[in-house]
């Protein structure tokens, strides 16, 4: 196994952790204006992710840094080609972060309502764009022989990529609803549980549609073979299991199931790409791979040593944070967001 393969796998792990954690984070933000009936309830909902949201985003920052250092050509082509989409995502994330900090500064209901909707938009837009971006990585984008993106923003939008975006929004909403059913007081939790029950099967339907479109729009299944393996089947089975489990009110297991569905999906995407990192729709030979997009062996060795030292420390710290704030958040909680 080469160091390029090792870092490709590590980046896949980082994306898996990000979507698992930030998935319910986005879902909570999307549900906020609809689930909270008054300011007190909305504060409870926000407080469930208040101690975690910034830590969850560290995963994608680390993944971006790893791509920049390990595969600089991938980073350059990705960020230049997806520039406008990433700019929109960045604006949404900035609004989202500001909403957490500014919402409680003024007691005016209009002020708080504005930031509640900013938090909604700052969660919905990234959730949608992540699905669009991943679908484009699988479908392929116009990349020339010099590794330059030659298309426009609108080349990233199609029926297939938009269905993928809607699927990620739906999965994250389900993930967030189940999370809230375990983290809030009984009244809000019951409402969150009902929302999870309502969106569970439509989410499965969207994912099935996405799989069918992927068969025709990408080479994912031909590369994985007739038997895509545990991860592809596991993703579908996990989401179906989540839909069944929320109906029987076993929300803890349902949350694990949606999390596994997300993780298995990311692994399947990376398996389908390998050894490519970006597919060229102009000529398959112009695709970026872990070999033609990578840094020098010395850089990869140095990165591996640093990661081996510091990644366990970060994981221990984040695990401690979740353990410390593991209880339900009730009305009257002292945190102010």
- What is the maximum alpha-carbon separation in the chain? 60
Tell me the pLDDT of the chain (337 aa) as tens digits. Answer: 789 999 999 999 999 999 999 999 999 999 999 998 888 899 999 999 988 888 899 899 999 999 999 999 999 999 999 999 999 999 999 999 999 989 888 889 899 999 999 999 999 999 999 999 999 999 999 999 999 999 888 889 999 999 999 999 999 999 999 999 999 988 899 999 999 999 999 999 999 999 899 888 988 877 766 455 677 788 889 999 999 999 999 999 999 999 999 999 999 999 889 999 999 999 999 999 999 999 999 999 999 999 999 889 888 988 998 898 888 888 765 455 4
| pTM for the whole structure | 0.92
**Of residues 221, 224, 220, 254, the one with CA closest to residue 239:** 254
The span from the CA of 42 to the CA of 30, in Å, is 12
Judge contact between 233 and 248, C-beta under 8 A: no
Query: What residue segments make up the domains of the chain, in order of their start?
Result: 3-324
> What letter does residue 285 receive in the DSSP assignment?
G
The span from the CA of 147 to the CA of 213, in Å, is 27
Residues 6+ apart with CB under 8 A from 298: none
Judge contact between 86 and 36, C-beta under 8 A: no
Own/partner contacts of 285-289, CB < 8 Å, gap of 24 or more, are 286/143, 286/144, 286/145, 286/147, 287/140, 287/143, 288/71, 288/73, 288/74, 288/77, 288/143, 288/147
- Residue 196: in which H helix or E strand, if any? helix 186-217
pLDDT at residue number 226: 47
Determine the 3-state secondary structure of 141 from DSSP: strand
Determine the 3-state secondary structure of 150 from DSSP: coil
**Of residues 235, 253, 237, 234, the one with CA closest to residue 245:** 253
Q: How many residues does the chain have?
A: 337
The two structure tokens encoding residue 155: 């080349």
Cα angle value 241/264/17 (rounded, 5°): 110
Backbone CA torsion sign across 290, 291, 293, 295: positive
Residues 6+ apart with CB under 8 A from 336: 43, 104
Domain 3-324 in CATH 1.50.10.150? no
Tokens 């989202």, residue located: 96
**Of residues 159, 178, 325, 291, the one with CA closest to residue 238:** 178
The span from the CA of 231 to the CA of 307, in Å, is 26
The two structure tokens encoding residue 51: 């101690």
């Amino acid at each position: 196994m080469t160091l390029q393969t090792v870092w490709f796998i590590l980046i896949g792990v980082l994306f898996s952790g990000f979507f698992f954690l930030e998935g319910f984070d986005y879902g909570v933000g999307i549900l906020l204006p609809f689930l909270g009936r008054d300011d007190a309830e909305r504060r409870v909902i926000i407080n469930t992710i208040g101690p975690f949201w910034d830590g969850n985003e560290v995963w994608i920052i680390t993944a971006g840094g790893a791509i920049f250092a390990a595969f600089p050509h991938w980073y350059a082509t990705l960020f230049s080609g997806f520039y406008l989409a990433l700019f929109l995502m960045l604006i949404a994330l900035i609004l989202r972060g500001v909403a957490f900090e500014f919402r409680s500064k003024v007691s005016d209901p209009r002020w708080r309502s504005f930031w509640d909707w900013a938090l909604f938009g700052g969660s919905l837009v990234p959730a949608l764009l992540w699905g669009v971006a991943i679908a484009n990585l699988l479908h392929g984008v116009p990349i020339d022989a010099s590794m330059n993106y030659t298309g426009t923003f609108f080349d990233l939008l199609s029926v297939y990529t938009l269905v993928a975006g809607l699927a990620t929004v739906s999965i994250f909403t389900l993930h967030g609803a189940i999370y809230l059913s375990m983290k809030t007081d009984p009244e809000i939790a019951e409402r969150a549980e009902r929302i999870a029950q309502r969106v569970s099967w439509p989410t499965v339907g969207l994912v099935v549609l996405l799989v069918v479109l992927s068969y025709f729009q990408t080479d994912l299944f031909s590369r994985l073979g007739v038997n895509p393996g545990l991860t592809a089947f596991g993703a579908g089975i996990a989401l179906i299991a989540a839909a069944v489990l929320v109906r029987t009110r076993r929300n803890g297991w349902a949350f694990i199931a949606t999390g596994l569905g997300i993780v298995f999906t990311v692994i399947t995407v990376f398996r389908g790409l390998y050894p490519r990192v970006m597919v060229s729709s102009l000529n398959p030979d112009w695709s970026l791979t872990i070999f033609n997009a990578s840094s020098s062996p010395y850089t990869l060795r140095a990165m591996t040593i640093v990661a081996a030292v510091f990644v366990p420390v970060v994981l221990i710290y984040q695990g401690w944070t979740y353990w410390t704030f593991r209880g339900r958040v009730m009305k009257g909680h002292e945190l102010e967001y």
